[in-house]
Amino acid sequence: MKSIEIEEALFPGNGVIRIDENNECRTIIVDAELDPFECHFHSDGVTIHTSESSYVMLTMENLVELMELMEEAGDYYDSDGYKNTNL
């Protein structure tokens, strides 16, 4: 079984951006040690919430995934950094 399949089995929907009740872009990413982390996307970056862990172990694949998710979330913000609620 591939690691992507394991991640999806343990954390369904990880790596998929969703808009929460506060109109914020969020997702869950799974690190190299199969620990889930909530990610909150902003117009100019991402916050990875690590309060329940002492560290995050990211692979190159995780970093590429984060960059792709940042690009996708960027579509939610206009050029001035405001939320585009027309998506």
Domains of the chain, residue spans: 3-74
Total-model pTM? 0.79
- Is the pLDDT at 69 greater than 70? The verdict is yes
* Residue 27: exposure state from Cβ atoms within 10 A (0-12, 13-18, ≥19): buried
Tell me what pLDDT residue 82 has: 62
CB 76 within 8 A of CB 69: no
Q: Which residues pair with 42 in a beta bridge?
A: 45
CA pair distance 2, 8, nearest whole angstrom: 10
CA 32 to each of CA 15, 55, 60, 79: distance values in angstroms, whole numbers, following the listed order: 14, 11, 10, 33
- Is the pLDDT at 80 greater than 80? The verdict is no
pLDDT single digits (tens) 1-13:
455 688 889 999 9
Identity of the amino acid at 59: T
